[in-house]
Chains A and B, each alone.
Chain A
Amino acid sequence: MTGKTLTRRAALSVAAMTATVMAAGLALAQDFPDKPVRLVVPFGAGGATDLAARALANVLPEYLGQPVAVVNVPGAGGAVGVTQIMETDADGYTMIMAAIGALALRPALSPDLNYSYDSVSYAARTQINPNVLILPDGAYEDFAAFAETLANADAPMRYGTAGAGQVTHLGPIMLAESLGLAADSIRPVHYDSDNGALLALMQGEVDFVQGNLPSFSSAIEAGQVQALAVTTPERLEALPDVPTYVELDHPDVSIVGWRGVAGPKDLPEDVLTVWQDAVKQATETEEWLEAISSLGDEAGYMPSAAFTEFVANDYDRYRAIAENIGLR
């Protein structure tokens, strides 16, 4: 055997080995998932995040190639579910329906939480919820009139929230900052749900509310409350006459709720890609679009990298607010 052939053989075998390893890697990616997957909802059944997860789980199997089981693990404002995800194997078979409350707002507001926004890997964003500013019907002519009253009020004006650290709590603070008012010029009164805040507004216990559109749309339609501004960049189909904060020169009041799919930290890149692509395809189906529009959500797909950056940005600005108003 000559040295040349030996070298050639060695080179060949190296090439073969590389090919095998690559094939194996490829096969691994193609094999995933080879058994049913679980999608953990860190909130109770019937809530907005649960319904969003179930809408996704209805269409996802077609693109993932495996059944998707939705499992509710509620508790501690989403912390119990997130903790369970952090403790599972990073193999992509157990994922979580991520939402703004559990993964951006709570970590930004509570320093003693056992996780932060970056304790999970984000696969893809699925949808967003526009927020809307509502007031008692006929109380103000337009947003400018309300802003005027807010700036000149003797006592802080009261606003209803669905609980501390919810979008309903932070949204108005963003508004006050954008109007150049001190943080204590408005005062939150915390209720348990969007409905509770809405009722308090109608009873006159609070002066205004800003939160998720779906919770308030029936009251707006019935003329029980008036809508003065929305937080999305574009006007909404459902509320064509209501201006956006961008139009009103307050582009910083851009708080929107969001949901998406995330998994344990350090999820393998190829597994993450499988999830990202399956979610992309699922969120383009007519069936899914119909399901989420009945929930009052808007489609908002975002791939893994962009979603990760988006959450980090969201976390940073809510944390800045929290520090400003002395919550942490």
Chain B
Amino acid sequence: MSDILVAIGTYFSDLGTGLMGGAEMFMTWNNVLTIFFGVFIGCFFGALPGLSISLAVAFVLPFSFSLEPLTALSLLSAVYVGAIYGGSISAILFNTPGTPAAACTTADGFALTKQNRAGKALQMANLASMVGDVTSTVLVILLFPLLAQVAIYFKSPEYFALILFAVMIVGSLSGKSLVLGLISAALGFALSTIGMDPIEGSGRFDFGNVNLLSGISFVPLLIGMFALPEFVAQLTRARRHDKPSAIARSVEVDSNDKLTREEFRTSLPHMVRGGLIGLVLGVIPGLGATPAAFVSYDQAKKRSKAPEAFGTGSLEGIAAAEAGNNGVNGSTLAPLLTLGIPGDVVTAIMLGALLVFNIQPGPMLFVMHQDLVYGLFIALLMCDLALRVVGLIFIRLGRHVSRLPTSYIFPGIITLCLVGTYSVNNNVFDIGVMIAAGVAALVMGRCGLPVIPLIIAFILGPMLERGLRRSLAASHGDPMVLVQSPIALVFYGLTIIALISIIRSNRKRGWPHKADA
């Protein structure tokens, strides 16, 4: 018994020491300002309908490479946190979710706006985003060292099983159809095989071209696939006078319209629960912010004293939805940092960034770069503080930001995307890749093929191949090694269960699937 107590004591004292080290590494003006800047950029992209979270993160990615690793990861996280929150602003004000994750906030938020209570709704969304995120981040910090210890048991066969699971889940969850999602994932996997063989280093499908030999770079592919289609969509609807800006002109936001203590107290349980739901759904690869918002909203409605108000302007509903989608922020990092598995596009982008910095996520990350991991946790908590401060500015400005004519903003963003793409590898070839990826994404969009499985499979494909080939090399070619590990068997089982349930829910059409991260 006392052994357990000692073990627990050591666990928390190690955690405390780690956090102190992380804080020491993080606490520079440079990092703190980066967080505020990142949250601001994120809010901006989130509040503008038509600019997605993935685009926001992809947009800052090339610029982050010139920063220190911790600063760069802080920037990417801050943009993500800001964008998830920013999506609620246009959802509340114009009935147009700035991001898919904010779709759940739309009904109650816009209802409140029509009742001239937009100020309260915006305040509630901001508070709930913060509380939800803090709840899940604190829990992730407390549990992380445990996760990192489990990760050491993942050898090559276990990795293979885990990545197979992740590819299946991500490929199938992010589109309307399982088959189309898997086709898209197969395309991503095929693209990832171009270039040097990840094991032997010999060239594949390079046609003797040294640029192809180095493989398709992740950044141009990503920016091309996210930015160009949005740009073209913007061009084709530029003439149309959109409804949001018409509504926006008539909306009045009284920023003194503060929440009462009572309103906050009734909503607080929904916020904490939302954070917990976000935590759980965030850890599972492929789910993410949108389902977390809907599940949290649903739970809040069941437990509320005033369920009839949900959908017609309930502050509790906004609290639940926003806490749910923000609760995902911290926990999606857990599988990325411990196992190197990205659960959604944003963590896939962060994985790309880590690899550029020569930092290999996985069990060794916690051993080799403990300060970096704890520094990132401190950064996440700082994001919440920044969210509150920047959020208050956006409550005043949001109406004007969401109304900005995107036809003026997009050319600037596209130019910066081009510059950013080039600057990563200083290679003109990458600009060609970016344009080709953009055209491909447009064609895929026309065919109904989702882009996200392609991106994730592009990242996970080489990892799957490595896991398989390393397992075989280490077992002297005996394929039985793949099914001898209990951990691997658990993941094969989970893959099968997940596939069955997805096929079923696709028939029934459950809650909306994540269309965009």
Taking Cβ atoms with an 8 Å cutoff, the residues of A that contact B are 44-47, 71-77, 79-80, 83, 106, 109-110, 112, 114, 155-156, 158, 163-165, 187-193, 195-196, 198-200, 202-206, 218
Contacts and interface: CB of A to CB of B under 8 A. Distances in A.
Contacts of B65: 45
B200 to A, nearest CB: 5
Nearest to B463: A192
A72 B153 CA distance: 36
Name the 6 nearest CB pairs between A and B, nearest first: A75-B214, A76-B214, A164-B201, A76-B213, A46-B357, A189-B473
Contact of A190 (B210, B362, B425, B470): B470
Nearest to A203: B155
Contacts, number: 109
Contact of B210 (A45, A79, A206): A79
A199 B364 contact: yes
20 contacts: A45-B65, A45-B66, A72-B425, A73-B425, A73-B426, A75-B210, A75-B214, A80-B425, A164-B201, A164-B202, A165-B201, A190-B199, A190-B473, A191-B466, A193-B358, A198-B364, A204-B155, A205-B155, A205-B156, A206-B474
Nearest to A192: B360
A75 B427 contact: yes
A80 B214 contact: yes
Contacts of A189: 470, 473-474
Given A76-B210, A112-B203, A114-B210, A45 B425 contact: no
Interface string B31-70: 0000000000000000000000000000000000110010
Given A189-B474, A203-B152, A205-B155, A196 B201 contact: no
B151 to A, nearest CB: 10
A202 B155 CA distance: 10
Interface string B353-375: 00011111011100010000000
Contacts of A192: 198, 360, 466
Contact of A80 (B69, B210, B473): B210
A187 B357 contact: no
Contact of A46 (B198, B356, B364, B426): B356
B498 interface: no
Contacts of B211: 75, 80
Interface of B: 65-66, 69, 152-153, 155-156, 195-196, 198-203, 208, 210-211, 213-215, 217, 356-360, 362-364, 368, 425-427, 466, 470, 473-474, 476
Contacts of B360: 192-193, 195-196
A193 B362 CA distance: 12
Contact of B357 (A45, A73, A79, A199): A45
Given A73-B426, A75-B214, A206-B474, A195 B203 contact: no
B214 to A, nearest CB: 3
Contact of B199 (A164, A195, A200): A164
B258 to A, nearest CB: 46
Contact of A110 (B199, B202, B364, B473): B202
A106 B427 CA distance: 21
B196 A195 contact: no
Given A75-B214, A114-B210, A190-B199, 17 more contacts: A44-B356, A46-B356, A72-B426, A76-B214, A79-B214, A80-B213, A80-B214, A109-B201, A112-B203, A114-B208, A165-B201, A189-B473, A191-B470, A192-B360, A195-B364, A195-B368, A218-B368
A120 to B, nearest CB: 15
Nearest to B198: A192
Contacts of B202: 110, 164
Contacts of B153: 203
Nearest to B369: A195
B155 A74 contact: no
A114 B473 CA distance: 29
A80 B358 contact: no
Nearest to B195: A76
